[in-house]
Protein backbone atom coordinates (compact mmCIF):
# COMPACT_ATOMS: atom_id res chain seq x y z
CA UNK A 1 0.00 0.00 0.00
CA UNK A 2 0.99 3.64 0.01
CA UNK A 3 1.80 5.82 -2.96
CA UNK A 4 4.48 5.43 -5.61
CA UNK A 5 5.25 8.57 -7.55
CA UNK A 6 5.79 8.18 -11.31
CA UNK A 7 8.33 10.84 -12.28
CA UNK A 8 7.45 10.42 -15.96
CA UNK A 9 4.01 11.99 -15.51
CA UNK A 10 3.33 15.11 -17.56
CA UNK A 11 3.36 17.53 -14.64
CA UNK A 12 6.74 16.20 -13.49
CA UNK A 13 7.97 16.99 -17.02
CA UNK A 14 6.51 20.50 -16.74
CA UNK A 15 8.29 20.98 -13.40
CA UNK A 16 11.59 19.86 -14.95
CA UNK A 17 11.07 22.30 -17.83
CA UNK A 18 10.88 19.48 -20.39
CA UNK A 19 7.54 20.66 -21.77
CA UNK A 20 6.13 24.19 -21.82
CA UNK A 21 3.31 25.61 -19.74
CA UNK A 22 1.43 28.88 -19.38
CA UNK A 23 2.57 29.81 -15.89
CA UNK A 24 0.23 31.96 -13.80
CA UNK A 25 2.23 31.89 -10.58
CA UNK A 26 5.40 30.29 -9.26
CA UNK A 27 6.66 30.19 -5.69
CA UNK A 28 9.29 28.18 -3.82
CA UNK A 29 7.04 25.13 -3.48
CA UNK A 30 4.16 25.67 -5.90
CA UNK A 31 3.44 26.16 -9.61
CA UNK A 32 0.16 27.30 -11.16
CA UNK A 33 -0.50 27.16 -14.90
CA UNK A 34 -3.39 27.22 -17.34
CA UNK A 35 -5.07 23.92 -18.13
CA UNK A 36 -4.25 22.93 -21.72
CA UNK A 37 -7.90 21.96 -22.35
CA UNK A 38 -9.86 24.55 -20.36
CA UNK A 39 -13.39 23.63 -19.28
CA UNK A 40 -14.21 27.21 -18.22
CA UNK A 41 -12.94 30.72 -19.06
CA UNK A 42 -10.68 30.44 -16.00
CA UNK A 43 -9.13 27.00 -15.59
CA UNK A 44 -5.88 26.98 -13.67
CA UNK A 45 -4.07 23.97 -12.24
CA UNK A 46 -2.14 24.47 -9.02
CA UNK A 47 0.50 21.86 -8.19
CA UNK A 48 3.07 21.38 -5.46
CA UNK A 49 6.63 21.02 -6.74
CA UNK A 50 7.16 18.00 -4.51
CA UNK A 51 6.43 14.41 -5.64
CA UNK A 52 2.90 13.94 -4.35
CA UNK A 53 0.41 11.75 -6.21
CA UNK A 54 -2.89 13.18 -4.96
CA UNK A 55 -4.46 15.39 -2.32
CA UNK A 56 -4.40 13.01 0.63
CA UNK A 57 -0.79 12.04 -0.20
CA UNK A 58 0.17 15.72 -0.12
CA UNK A 59 -1.91 16.36 3.00
CA UNK A 60 -0.22 13.42 4.78
CA UNK A 61 3.42 13.95 3.87
CA UNK A 62 4.05 17.52 2.72
CA UNK A 63 5.95 19.81 5.06
CA UNK A 64 4.13 22.64 6.77
CA UNK A 65 6.04 25.07 4.55
CA UNK A 66 4.81 23.28 1.43
CA UNK A 67 1.22 23.20 2.67
CA UNK A 68 1.19 26.87 3.63
CA UNK A 69 2.85 27.88 0.35
CA UNK A 70 0.38 25.81 -1.68
CA UNK A 71 -2.65 27.11 0.21
CA UNK A 72 -1.60 30.75 -0.06
CA UNK A 73 -0.94 30.20 -3.77
CA UNK A 74 -4.54 29.02 -4.19
CA UNK A 75 -5.70 32.32 -2.70
CA UNK A 76 -3.35 34.28 -4.94
CA UNK A 77 -4.54 32.46 -8.08
CA UNK A 78 -8.20 33.03 -7.17
CA UNK A 79 -7.52 36.73 -6.66
CA UNK A 80 -5.34 37.21 -9.74
CA UNK A 81 -7.76 35.44 -12.07
CA UNK A 82 -10.64 37.56 -10.76
CA UNK A 83 -12.80 34.71 -9.48
CA UNK A 84 -12.40 35.22 -5.70
CA UNK A 85 -15.73 36.44 -4.26
CA UNK A 86 -13.85 38.42 -1.62
CA UNK A 87 -12.14 40.45 -4.33
CA UNK A 88 -15.21 41.20 -6.43
CA UNK A 89 -15.23 37.94 -8.37
CA UNK A 90 -18.28 35.76 -8.92
CA UNK A 91 -16.85 32.55 -7.54
CA UNK A 92 -15.17 29.38 -8.67
CA UNK A 93 -15.06 25.64 -8.22
CA UNK A 94 -12.00 23.88 -6.79
CA UNK A 95 -11.64 20.20 -7.69
CA UNK A 96 -9.01 17.63 -6.75
CA UNK A 97 -9.49 14.30 -8.52
CA UNK A 98 -7.83 11.23 -7.03
CA UNK A 99 -7.43 7.68 -8.26
CA UNK A 100 -9.76 5.63 -10.43
CA UNK A 101 -13.08 6.64 -8.91
CA UNK A 102 -12.01 10.30 -8.89
CA UNK A 103 -11.00 9.92 -12.56
CA UNK A 104 -7.54 11.38 -12.03
CA UNK A 105 -5.62 11.48 -15.32
CA UNK A 106 -2.31 12.93 -14.20
CA UNK A 107 -0.77 11.26 -11.12
CA UNK A 108 0.76 14.41 -9.67
CA UNK A 109 -1.46 16.23 -7.20
CA UNK A 110 -3.20 19.22 -8.73
CA UNK A 111 -6.07 21.45 -7.74
CA UNK A 112 -8.31 22.68 -10.53
CA UNK A 113 -9.60 26.26 -10.10
CA UNK A 114 -12.42 26.86 -12.55
CA UNK A 115 -14.61 29.92 -12.97
CA UNK A 116 -15.54 32.80 -15.20
CA UNK A 117 -19.00 31.30 -15.73
CA UNK A 118 -21.60 29.51 -13.66
CA UNK A 119 -20.18 26.04 -12.99
CA UNK A 120 -23.52 24.22 -12.82
CA UNK A 121 -24.56 21.52 -10.37
CA UNK A 122 -21.75 20.02 -8.35
CA UNK A 123 -22.10 16.47 -9.70
CA UNK A 124 -24.69 14.36 -11.46
CA UNK A 125 -26.45 11.64 -9.50
CA UNK A 126 -25.83 8.37 -11.34
CA UNK A 127 -24.87 4.75 -10.97
The footprint of ligand AMP (CB under 6 A) covers 10, 19, 21, 35-37, 45, 97, 103-106
Give the shortest CB-125-to-ligand AMP separation in angstroms. 20
DSSP-assigned states of every residue in 71-99? HHHHHHHHHHTT--GGGT---EEEE---T
User: Under DSSP, is residue 46 helix (H, G, I), strand (E, B) or coil?
Assistant: strand
Q: Which is nearer to ligand AMP, 59 or 65 (CB)?
A: 59
From the candidates 43, 57, 110, 112, which is the catalytic residue? 110
Give the shortest CB-53-to-ligand AMP separation in angstroms. 11
d(CA 106, CA 118): 25
108 is catalytic: no
- The residues annotated with a catalytic role in the active site are 110
Amino acid sequence: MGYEYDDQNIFAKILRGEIPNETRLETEHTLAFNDIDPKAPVHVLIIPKGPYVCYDHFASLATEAEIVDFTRSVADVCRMTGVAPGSGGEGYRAIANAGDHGVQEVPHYHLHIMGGRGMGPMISRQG
